[in-house]
Amino acid sequence: MNRFIAFIFVSILALAAVACAQTKPNAASDANAGKETAAVDKAPSEASGSKILVAYFSATGVTEKAAQQIADATGGTLYKIQPETPYSDADLDWHNEQSRSSVEMADKASRPAIAGKPEKLEEYSVVYLGFPIWWYTAPTIINTFIEANSLNGKTVIPFATSGGSTIDKACADLKTAYPEINWKEGRLLNRVTEQELKDWTASQH
Ligand SMILES: Cc1cc2nc3c(=O)[nH]c(=O)nc-3n(C[C@H](O)[C@H](O)[C@H](O)COP(=O)(O)O)c2cc1C
């Protein structure tokens, strides 16, 4: 009986060894890859010689999901741009011209305060910068972030989600306001598939 148990045990070990040997070194295409640690996902980032930051603002979670997908695909570090005072539902009411977002977006000089800063920003050469489209452009909190954190000389790739508007005006506005940044063409990430996102990020750096 003991020999039988030992046989079963050895068989299980042998099967496990074969299974491990067949595991791909980069599991990025596996369904669970996104949930794996940054150690696996870091590979593409390091291979291309650039350290990637995925900085984003998201008021209701849609852009946040896209940011997470980019971080999974690139091995980049996620950084959430947090308003010092979070936006309430009433703040986000674009039908109300007195709401906080309407007032901020009507004043190009508004710079809503943010809490915190990304650590060791100088180490990153590529920054994905994400936001929801507000009034056809980037929320002014993105201006606050850019002005509080030097992105000069870095490659910055805007991405956004929207209710249907394009990202074009946001990209044009940002390029005009901050010409010293090496802007890449931005991309609207409404309803992109995981594969489309991987292909896009792979072509960026
Ligand atoms: C104040 C405000 C203004 C908006 N303006 C636009 C707009 O001009 N065009 C558009 O397509 N969607 C607009 N939207 C919709 C958001 O862009 C869209 O819901 C986005 O996916 C939200 O992203 P988030 O969940 O990351 O905040 C607006 C939303 C808010 C709250």
Q: What is the DSSP letter of 139?
A: -
Residue 99 CB contacts under 8 Å (≥ 6 apart), including other chains: 90, 91, 92, 93
Model pLDDT, residue 50: 84
Pairing mode, if any, of strands 155-161 and 126-132?
parallel
DSSP reduced 3-state for 123:
helix
Kindly report the protein residue whose alpha carbon is nearest to atom 4 of ligand 1.
134
Residue with tokens 């849609």: 62
CA–CA separation, 157 and 3 (whole Å) = 62
- The amino acid occupying position 160 is A
Direct distance between the N- and C-terminal alpha carbons of the chain, in angstroms, rounded to an integer: 59
Closest approach atom of ligand 1 to CA 137: 8
Choosing from 134, 140, 161, 165 the residue with most ligand 1 atoms within 8 A of its CB, the one to mutate for a pocket test is 134
Model pLDDT, residue 99: 98
112 in Cβ contact with 91 (< 8 Å): no
48 in Cβ contact with 125 (< 8 Å): no
188 in Cβ contact with 159 (< 8 Å): yes
Cα(134) to ligand 1 centroid in Å equals: 5
Counting as low any pLDDT under 50, the low residues of the chain are 1-44, 46-47
Instruction: For 79, list phi and psi in degrees, rounded to 5.
Output: -135, 120
Kindly report the protein residue whose alpha carbon is nearest to atom 17 of ligand 1.
162
Q: What is the DSSP letter of 87?
A: P
Instruction: For 114, list phi and psi in degrees, rounded to 5.
Output: -115, 155
- Going 169 to 174 to 180 to 185, the CA torsion angle's sign is negative
Choosing from 62, 89, 110, 162 the residue with most ligand 1 atoms within 8 A of its CB, the one to mutate for a pocket test is 162
Cα(165) to ligand 1 centroid in Å equals: 9
Closest to 60 measured CA to CA, from 38, 78, 83, 77:
83
Model pLDDT, residue 48: 60
